[in-house]
Structure 1
Amino acid sequence: PVFNPGIVMEGGSVEFNGRGTLMTTTACLLNENRNPHLNQAQIEEYLHNFYGVDHILWLGDGIIGDDTDGHIDDITRFVNEDTVLTVVEENKNDANYEILQENLKLLHQMRLENGKQLNVVELPMPKPVIYEDQILPASYANFYISNETVIVPTFQDLKNDDRALDTIQQCFPTRRVVGINSVDLIWGLGSFHCLSQQEPSIIV
């Protein structure tokens, strides 16, 4: 069966814990360029009906340079039913610092569908990746989870690449974490999780 809800809903805008909870951002799903005829309650109704989830958690803004208006897959990812990896900027002068601190605060206040508090694991942000004066949405959170491995974007950042890989490996003890240089790929404003999302239909 094929269902067409008739709304704009990209795969990178939603994240699931597999137990009934969905996480997203207000910056993306409530953006007037998506579904301006729907308010937050109506959007939640679509999420409940078409994803089969019982519980919805909302973060705020996405990272600077993200042309998707704040996809969740660049900031916070579930690694199991009650643990999330979330990116945090350590440089207080960086434009992402306040944005990610606010999201971190929200995560610590959130509860899952069973009332349990989230286990929040912090990931560093890479140093800024800039191309032709444009800040690109480089983030270690844009990893892809396969059956046996986790493919993680790296950004030639000697300070943070290994830290991020080690942190992610601790969260996936049964999978091999593999870092792949994503500096060239991020010029397209996305990385490995973005590449794994929806593909267009092809009419032959």
Structure 2
Amino acid sequence: MTPKEQGFFFPAEWHPHRATWLTFPHNDHSWQGDKLARMRPQYIQFIKAIAQGEKVCINANSEALKTQIIGWLIEAGVDLNQIEFLINPTNDAWCRDHGPAFLINPETKQRQIVNWGYNAWGGKYPPYSDDDALPVKIATYLDLPYVSPGVIMEGGSVEFNGAGTVLTSKSCLLNPNRNPHLSQGQIEKYLCDYYGMNQVLWVEDGIVGDDTDGHIDDTTRFVNEDTVVACVETDQNDENFEVLNTNLQMLKEMRLLNGKQLNIIELPMPKPVYINDFRTPGSYANFLICNAGVIVPVFDNPNDQRAIDILEQAFPDRKVIPLLANEIIWGQGSFHCLSQQEPLI
């Protein structure tokens, strides 16, 4: 039986968490030169913010790195009682994509893990075998059953409303560098069977600088069952204008399972975030919803405050926590990309 047939589903991110999982950055290929050291203080502040409301489970590449991490956390005033460590060899830091997908069954009060395959966004950044092995290792650590569908799927490519709908992008999940043997209909069946969904909605593409082929978590996010924030670009000369406008028009045509149109809140893009002439995929949509609040990446950018104000209105019952990510973004991802939530049951 598939997880869906057993009554399991992937809950919305605002469902209460037991913990958030992270894979501590150590690969200086992703943050070249001194950039790994420069991004680390921002990453530690991210851990500190999550730890205000839940456990933070950290995959550490080695005992030596764990010792260093503990020192950095103590220096930042993080409560170590909120931190759990697993020593696992890892290739990179993007736990949203290589980490476990946790399913819940509210009727039986059970959880299980989906062990999707992971190939570093179409084989772009080998090696990735250590990251691909993490879901099973975490399932073993938590003594949870797991299921392996045998297809490539990344957590950043899917967005959930907690009521049977998953939102994704054609440019990523239909890319032949993921599952070339599967049709769109077959991919939709995997999404429904293994995430416990009843509906798949598709936008077109992602933003400039995103090397994942267009992950949804940089463009469109659910904030409740029938409302999304959708990134928009008002500068018609900007490279992101056309694709974000196309996505917006597609969102306006969508209908949820109950027949409702989506409520759409337009979220500005930051002014282009460049590092060394490289346009990074800076986006305010790459936030993490956790027990402590909504952790939003900001970039010391003219549009930061406007985005914060909009997200505060979108999440009236949650604290919005803006944190600088202008060094983290060099790795071509931000807070949502770096994390994967573990729900309570």
Post-superposition CA distance 1:18-47 (Å, at most 9, x none)? 000000000000001100110100100101
Say if 2:305 is the partner of 1:162. yes
Q: 1:196 aligns with which of 339, 342, 345?
A: 339
Distance 2:327 2:184 in 1: 36
What runs of 5+ residues in structure 2 fail to find an aligned partner? 1-144
Residue matched to 1:187? 330
Match of residue 205 from structure 2: 61
* Cα deviation, residue 132, structure 1: 2.6
Tell me whether 172-181 or 75-84 shows the greater mean CA deviation: 172-181
4+ long deviations beyond 4 Å = none
- Distance in 1 between residues matched to 2:205 and 2:271, nearest whole Å: 19
Q: Distance in 2 between matches of 1:107 and 1:52?
A: 22
Structure 2: how far apart are the matches of 1:47 and 1:72? Answer: 15
Deviation track 1:60-118 (CA, whole Å, cap 9, x = no partner) reads: 01001100000000000000000000100111100000000000000000000111100
- Alignment match, 1:202: none
What is the aligned residue count? 197
Check conservation: 1:12, 1:197, Cα contact below 8 A: no
- Give the % identical residues: 61
Deviation at 1:148, TM superposition (A): 3.1
* 1:38 aligns with one of 182, 187, 197: 182
2:170 is matched by which residue type in structure 1?
Answer: T
Which amino acid is the alignment partner of residue 321 of structure 2? V
Paired AA for residue 34 in structure 1: R
- Pairwise CA distance, 1:130: 1.5
- Once the 2 structures are TM-superposed, how far is the Cα of residue 133 of structure 1 from its aligned partner? 2.4
TM-superposition CA deviations, 1:171-195 (whole Å, max 9, x none): 1111110111111000011000001
Within 5 Å, give how 1:32-181 maps onto structure 2. 32-158=176-302, 160-181=303-324
Report the secondary structure of 2:340's partner residue.
coil
- Report deviation, 1:131: 2.0
- State the SS of the aligned residue for 2:297: strand
CA distance in 2, matches of 1:193, 1:54: 24
Superposition RMSD on alpha carbons, in Å?
0.9
Using the size of structure 2 for normalisation, the TM-score is: 0.56
Structure 2 counterpart of 1:99, one-letter code: V
- Segment drifting more, 124-133 vs 104-113: 124-133
Match of 2:51 in 1: none
Letter in 2 for 1:79: V
State the Cα distance separating 1:157 from its structure 2 match. Answer: 1.0
| Equivalent position amino acid for 2:168 in 1 | T
CA distance in 2, matches of 1:166, 1:110: 26
- Compare relative contact order (CA 8 Å, sep 6+) and give the higher one, 1 or 2: 2
Unaligned runs of 5+ in 1: 199-204
Q: Aligned with 2:228: secondary structure? A: strand
- Counterpart CA distance in 2 for 1:105 and 1:128 is 23
